[in-house]
Structure 1
Amino acid sequence: MNSTIFTLYLLIIGIIQISASKNQTKFSLTTPSLLLQFDTSTSNVLSSIQSTDPTDPTSTRTFSNPSATLFSIEIVNATSLFTIDSKNPTATRTLTSTTPTQTTATWSYPQLSTTVSLHFTSSEPFINIVPSITFPDNINHGIATFTLSIPMNPSTEDAVFFPDSYGVESSGTNGYSGTYPSAAAAMQHMAISSSTGPGIYVAAHDKSGDWKELGYDGSTCFHVKIVPVGATKPVPTWSAEYSVSIAALPKITDSNPLYKSASELYREFIFEEPAAEWLRRGMIKNRLPDHLKNSHVWLNTGWQCHDVFEDVQGDPATAQGRVEDVVGLWRDLGMKTPVGLHYYEWQQGPDPDPSSRYLFDTHYPDYFPGRVSSSGTTVKQFSKTVKETLDVYTYPYINGRIFDLTCDSYIADDGESVCVKVPSSMKLFSSSNTDLSVPTENYGSGPDFCIANPATEYWQNKIGATVEELVNEYGSSGVYIDQVASASMNLCYDPSHNHTIANGHWWRNGYLGMFNKIHELVGDSTNAPMVTESNSEIYMDMVEGYLPLTAFAKPFASSSNGNILVPAFSFVYGGYYNAFGAEFYQADFTDIPYLRSKIAGMLITGTQIGWFSLGGIEDDACGEMGLYDLFMDKENLDVNQYIVDSANIRSELVDFFLNGRQYPNPVADPAPKIAGTNWEYLDVMTGTWVSEHASEVVVLLCNVADSDKQFTLTLDFTTYGWKEGDQYKMDGSDEVFTVDSGNVQVVDMDVESTGIEVLRFALVQ
């Protein structure tokens, strides 16, 4: 039987030194900031990675872990699935260097008849790794998954970055995993570093948005799991369409935190021409109607976690009364800007009997007709009234992803033909294979749902027609289409859907087709903006608003598990997206400074404030979320005023939030951490935004405490792209300052209790 050959090709372009020749047992591969050591006496061959701090050539660190497995491959044949990996004891390992820009490491498996190769391409500062496999002509094999790992040996001094929603940092010994694209992995880069030495950047460099799993186990490695385009199909050869890339990172400092140094590299890749597909429509400012640009506060009629809702919250007359009361109060307190309203439970269904109403998470994608109140108020009348009298814009809820297996449309239209399908057992794919099953989901609301395939014309037309009716017949200002940017891409193996089997660009292209159909029917996004849940990057060109609830489920200061929210997403994509909303609870009103900290967290990240639930039910496990009575309680007038003040300040800074980028937040000293209801928070929260062309810097200072605060603020203007010798002014002063050492200190800041201060700096032209 022929030997199995596993080959690693390392192609390095740039300033490179390679010490190797043909059939060597050891060699070293160097770039200015990375040194890779290879040794065939080790099972992984790649024995260590040395990182040199790009800002300090004297600072180095070696990453190595013999417990890690460099790669693992799931292969299918006609009857089953089997696995091979880099640590197989029967494999023979050799090294070959054929040119100064290419190195090959080979694993030979004597009991198999398959040749597997990994191709690595690189350009400074990256070393890129691309897997490929070749099967012999006389053997029918396919690939199910390919997992590539980057060995690590973390310590408790390390911090790790993972792209969960806006971004999260934690202890280097905490693990993370998420499937991309989804809320759990909104971008594709990970990183590790410390304040005492350099680190490593690990990313999937994919500009098309295919499915992958990103992970860090907290002890041995980062990994990227790839499902090939055409997975499980018999193929003579396969090569991944993108690389897994590594680069050196500097040690962590206050002005250059881990998320920033890693995200700078990721942004460099994403924006390099040809840029990622989701950047094709350019900056978000050109796609938003004025009312959405300026909706600095959001309400919802009655979101409740666990998806169990108050029955009356979507009744048009009830919703109108609550909106009129709360927004009317805010208007009296000085709010001048539009308000967004996320409208749940507006749907009735064909039977007008209230007991037969289509409840939340049932009957999707069937909704119509809408509810009519006992007073005769309709959904359309409600939307029209609050828009004309209160400048409130409604976005009814629909779901863009799941299909109720018991609904009328599913039964009448052969719904199963639209569903995503997966193999009942993993084996070699055949176009005549009928051994496929429909995965289902259940949300506790009764019915099971399949995942509708967005590449099907049926689903694109169905969602398009639903949106058209809501906008053109019901007077909606836009539509909230749930789950699109939150849930993971689902692999599909149904050949009748006319897309590549399993993975590929079809998922993103399918949703792109759905949104194109929507705007063909209702006009462009300035007429009818679409918004969705969470902030996965690949949907950026399709929607005009992200609802990043999972981002704000993490603290800014610290938590019991060490996770903190970091604004990596706004650093990479500031100017290219719009976001609104976080979850608020009745319990928040028992700790007002903590409640202010949640509002301030939204303000400093450029997120439209609120998404406050008006209705709700008693749910001890979830936490009660209906806030209408609390807003109307005179004891909470100060809370309402804080919301109004935050909205008005956001209005003054909206150009920064829509066109600029967020940079690392300066640290107020002292700024004690306060124990809040769910986690600690800083009593002075700060945020820094840089204008579109980097000519202005704005710093927000939010004192969420009940007492005045005095502190020192240190700003490093070189962090924001300004250069030594640049001259600038501070708003309100004629004095001209010069960037020399890169730092300016603003001493003895004094921010009154609950105050929000804004510092503006502008280059002198």
Structure 2
Amino acid sequence: MNHRLVFSVVMSLLLFGNSSGFAQSTIETTIDAGDLVLKFTRSDDGASLTSIVDKATGRELLAEDRAAFFECVLRKTGTQEDVSITSETGWTQVEIDAAEGDKPFAVRWSGAKNLGPEAAAIRVKASASLDSSKSRISWDLAVETGEDQKTWALRRVAFPQVALADLGAESELLFPSAAGEVKRNPCAKKANYAGLYPGGWSLSMQLMAYYGSDSQAKAVPGLYFSMHDPLGATKTISAKARSDGRSLVLKFDHPAEDMDRAGNGFSLSGRAVWQLLRGDWFDAAMIYREWVAEAEWYPQLAPEGRADTPQWMRELPVWIISGLDGKTGERWGLYGKAGGSPEAVMPDVERFAETVGVPVGFHWYNWHEIPFNDDYPHYFPAKPGFAEAVARLQEKDIYVMPYMNGRLWDSHDRGVEDFQFTSVALPAAAKDEAGQPFFETYRSKQADGETVRLAVMCPFTAIWQEKICETVLRLMNQCGTKGVYIDQVAAAKPVLCFDRSHGHPTGGGNWWVSGYRQGLEKIRKDMPSGHMITTECNAEPFIREFDGYLTWHWQSQDQQPVFPAVYGGSIQMFGRAYRGELNDDDLATRMKASQQLVYGEQIGWFHPRIIDQKENAAFIKQIIALRWHLRRYFYAGRMARPPKPLGEIPIVRADWRWKPDWWVEHPAVYTGAWRLPDENKVVFFAVNVSSRPITCRAALDLADYGLKGEEMQATHLAVDETMNITKTSSTVPRRPDHPLTIPEKTAWAWEVHDRGQHHQ
């Protein structure tokens, strides 16, 4: 491939504000990677990124008020004094390689001249590989502080960071929160998003993108701005609009390994990738999907999906949750011991399964004698009759998945007594720089009324790995459960542990993920065939170790199915927090269930008594039936670009009850598409959640979905009152554009394939 590096030298006399007349030279260096063109300006004591241009349109993407290319924060030994050095200024020497051909481009900064003599050993090197065919630049960064110096410890490194110019009112920011969120006009709306990765509550992936919306008459190019880190090292990811509303700063900020030790260094885990983007969130997701197959956490996929996930789990269409207070349809009566007994949960669970007539997953809370979020991790004994109830349910294709926690140990782990916390758990607890454990509190109370304090355990320790494994295998081998839910692993963000006795680097690095991986791989090796494990939320670097992610938190107004677009087929996503079952005709329930279907999730986390509510039950039965009938698309296929419905489509609005007054708006027709690429088959969904018929159309080119020819065979799928699928076949043109009227509260699907292809 041809890479072109063009040097243009601009010498200017920049007189300092003194009588010496000392002249500072600047040199501009242009990096050309296809249509993505960058410019660096080197001065005598720094180097700055001063331009990012789309060569095809001539558009400048970089803001005038630029951000430093990198920032290093160091701490002086024996103090709490932190100082910052950036790429811009303060260096004894700066060099830019005269790269030729395929030789990587590099910039070197040496000697932080304002931090004293020992800072002379500080060096930073940024190097880049260029891919002209993709208009892509992939960055690496290394920082040395001098192994022998005793004065400065590197605390964190912000790299890369870039200030992008406002792309206008139709611009969009893709931020990797939960399912993925797309924020319109982020500069004017003063966007401010940040979180610690990996943490499924806030940051599930490492990709961002800022681009012009395709709703504009002329597409505006943007930038794909992501970390391709295959090990999932801890990092803060942020996107923040500046106060003047004219620019957006995107940044990755990495805590350094051994950040409490002078002389430490930093090497970027993976590569920071910039690519010119002419498209939207789905195009950015496809770039990221192409890369993640190289990541440490990506599972091996076969033609039928993940062979290490049991077939029943790959196919499962619906989940229910019970084990609560047993009195109402309210979901969250978790605290206390009243719920969870077999006699309390069995009647509703069995009745739900009989009504829907398909395999059901049952998430069983409070199966244990201890209260919820109290006395962890001593879950046994189980409530009387638990194992017998499990066997009975699973004979009826009701797959039982009990709850346990994967992070926390109660500091008073036998009522109000310290049973094993100090003697067993404390050495393995994650600790701050002062050597103190990290404690968390929830709503749970001890018998004496005091709030339960739960310590975050370090996943790198054998003690914690073995404790999780012991509980999981006991549930499977002694109680017979087909699955176990291990709470919080892919939900909660890492903590920076400083206990050197654990054997991991202090502070940053990838040890949080690798520690969990070690323990979970042992579980997968030892658990019986045909069993599975799941966890909460959807932080990506744990995918290979789990069979399912509980995506109950996908509740955002601005979310798009970015995570399913990237990871569809590699893990089963299931569950939303419904919280609307007391309303017999609940719009929020219809909106969530429809979104689950088009996102490729297993439907539900319903309370089983939802079947007693005529309107809710009638609707979710349609969704469940379609999910069951088309299940292979979701474990052996992948998401395709969701079609956009056109026409006069009303906006519906409902309180999703995630938090008080959690109102979500959406067009009344939900759409989606999933492919079986090896078979050239596509299924399209359209679901009308409103209370009146809606006429709409979808302007499609079926060639964009991998189908060939000018005419295709389509089978329309609808669900009758008995949950049977009715099918109607027809021939459709490559560009179908005819209107259709979808009845109220109705879910439809169309399977489309080449005309000459045999259809089952």
Short-chain TM bin? 0.7 to 0.9
1:532 matched to 2:535? The reply is yes
What aligned pairs does 1:614-763 form with structure 2 within 5 A after superposition? 628=609, 631-632=611-612, 636-670=613-647, 671-677=649-655, 678-693=663-678, 695-722=680-707, 728-731=712-715, 733=729, 735=731, 737=733, 744-763=735-754
What aligned pairs does 1:178-217 form with structure 2 within 5 A after superposition? 178-183=195-200, 184-195=202-213, 196-217=219-240
1:314 maps to 340
**Cα 1:521–1:532, aligned 2, differ >3 Å: closer, same or farther?**
same
Determine the C-alpha separation between the residues in 1 that align with 2:590 and 2:580. 13
1:443 maps to 442
* Contact 1:631–1:637 (CA under 8 A) maintained in structure 2: yes
Of 568, 580, 585 in structure 1, the residue corresponding to residue 579 of structure 2 is 585
Higher relative contact order (CA 8 A, sep 6+): 1
What aligned pairs does 1:470-481 form with structure 2 within 5 A after superposition? 470-481=475-486
What aligned pairs does 1:322-333 form with structure 2 within 5 A after superposition? 322-328=348-354, 331=355
**Cα 1:236–1:700, aligned 2, differ >3 Å: closer, same or farther?**
closer
CA-to-aligned-CA distance 1:163-216 (integer Å, 9 cap, x gap): 112211012232211211111111111010113411111111100111111110
Counterpart amino acid of residue 147 in structure 1: A
CA-to-aligned-CA distance 1:82-134 (integer Å, 9 cap, x gap): 22232776557855333334242647642222423132222323212222222
1:239 maps to 267
SS of equivalent to 2:595: helix
Determine the C-alpha separation between the residues in 1 that align with 2:366 and 2:495. 27
What aligned pairs does 1:362-373 form with structure 2 within 5 A after superposition? 362-372=374-384
Q: Which moved more, 1:29-38 or 1:301-310?
A: 301-310
1:568 matched to 2:552? The reply is no
1:288 maps to 309
* Contact 1:118–1:129 (CA under 8 A) maintained in structure 2: no
SS of equivalent to 2:237: strand
* Contact 1:212–1:225 (CA under 8 A) maintained in structure 2: yes
Of 164, 172, 183 in structure 2, the residue corresponding to residue 152 of structure 1 is 164
SS of equivalent to 1:676: strand
* Contact 1:199–1:249 (CA under 8 A) maintained in structure 2: yes
Q: Which moved more, 1:678-687 or 1:297-306?
A: 297-306
1:360 matched to 2:372? The reply is yes
SS of equivalent to 1:454: coil
**Cα 1:580–1:755, aligned 2, differ >3 Å: closer, same or farther?**
same
**Cα 1:474–1:412, aligned 2, differ >3 Å: closer, same or farther?**
farther
Determine the C-alpha separation between the residues in 2 that align with 1:694 and 1:118. 47
Deviation at 1:386, TM superposition (A): 2.4
Determine the C-alpha separation between the residues in 2 that align with 1:385 and 1:643. 25
1:15 maps to 3
Deviation at 1:299, TM superposition (A): 0.8
Deviation at 1:583, TM superposition (A): 0.5
Deviation at 1:647, TM superposition (A): 1.1
* Contact 1:120–1:127 (CA under 8 A) maintained in structure 2: no
What aligned pairs does 1:408-423 form with structure 2 within 5 A after superposition? 408=414, 410-411=420-421, 413-423=423-433
Counterpart amino acid of residue 195 in structure 2: G
Counterpart amino acid of residue 134 in structure 1: E
**Cα 1:147–1:306, aligned 2, differ >3 Å: closer, same or farther?**
farther
1:117 matched to 2:124? The reply is yes
Determine the C-alpha separation between the residues in 1 that align with 2:89 and 2:315. 63
1:96 maps to 96
CA-to-aligned-CA distance 1:470-528 (integer Å, 9 cap, x gap): 1121221211100011111222222211223333333222222222332344324xx22
Determine the C-alpha separation between the residues in 2 that align with 1:287 and 1:90. 54
Of 295, 300, 303 in structure 2, the residue corresponding to residue 276 of structure 1 is 295
Counterpart amino acid of residue 119 in structure 1: A
Counterpart amino acid of residue 365 in structure 1: P
1:165 maps to 178
**Cα 1:139–1:549, aligned 2, differ >3 Å: closer, same or farther?**
same
**Cα 1:180–1:694, aligned 2, differ >3 Å: closer, same or farther?**
farther
1:47 matched to 2:47? The reply is no
**Cα 1:461–1:550, aligned 2, differ >3 Å: closer, same or farther?**
same
1:5 maps to none
2:592 maps to 598
* Contact 2:256–2:508 (CA under 8 A) maintained in structure 1: yes
1:35 matched to 2:37? The reply is yes
TM-score in terms of structure 1 length: 0.83
Determine the C-alpha separation between the residues in 2 that align with 1:688 and 1:588. 32
Determine the C-alpha separation between the residues in 1 that align with 2:698 and 2:203. 33
Determine the C-alpha separation between the residues in 2 that align with 1:468 and 1:108. 55
Counterpart amino acid of residue 309 in structure 1: Y
Which consecutive unaligned segments of at least 5 residues does structure 2 have?
A: 11-24, 214-218, 243-247, 325-329, 445-450, 656-662, 716-727
SS of equivalent to 2:297: helix
**Cα 1:59–1:717, aligned 2, differ >3 Å: closer, same or farther?**
farther
* Percent of residue pairs bearing the same amino acid type: 24
Of 509, 515, 519 in structure 1, the residue corresponding to residue 520 of structure 2 is 515
Counterpart amino acid of residue 394 in structure 1: V
CA-to-aligned-CA distance 1:325-374 (integer Å, 9 cap, x gap): 3334xx2xxx23111111111111xxxxxxxxx211111111110123xx
TM-score in terms of structure 2 length: 0.83
1:82 maps to 82
**Cα 1:137–1:570, aligned 2, differ >3 Å: closer, same or farther?**
closer
Counting matched residue pairs gives: 675
Q: Which moved more, 1:586-595 or 1:201-210?
A: 586-595
Determine the C-alpha separation between the residues in 2 that align with 1:520 and 1:693. 31
* Contact 2:85–2:112 (CA under 8 A) maintained in structure 1: no
Counterpart amino acid of residue 208 in structure 1: L
1:10 maps to none
SS of equivalent to 2:195: strand
Deviation at 1:412, TM superposition (A): 6.5
* Contact 2:713–2:732 (CA under 8 A) maintained in structure 1: yes
What aligned pairs does 1:385-400 form with structure 2 within 5 A after superposition? 385-388=392-395, 390-400=396-406
**Cα 1:144–1:730, aligned 2, differ >3 Å: closer, same or farther?**
same
2:601 maps to 607
- CA RMSD between the two structures: 2.7
Determine the C-alpha separation between the residues in 1 that align with 2:50 and 2:93. 13
1:262 maps to 284
Q: Which moved more, 1:512-521 or 1:31-40?
A: 512-521
Determine the C-alpha separation between the residues in 2 that align with 1:301 and 1:578. 21
Deviation at 1:17, TM superposition (A): 2.9
Determine the C-alpha separation between the residues in 2 that align with 1:307 and 1:224. 39
SS of equivalent to 1:572: helix
CA-to-aligned-CA distance 1:225-249 (integer Å, 9 cap, x gap): 1123333333365422322221111
Q: Which moved more, 1:96-105 or 1:568-577?
A: 96-105
Determine the C-alpha separation between the residues in 1 that align with 2:7 and 2:712. 50
* Contact 1:420–1:494 (CA under 8 A) maintained in structure 2: yes
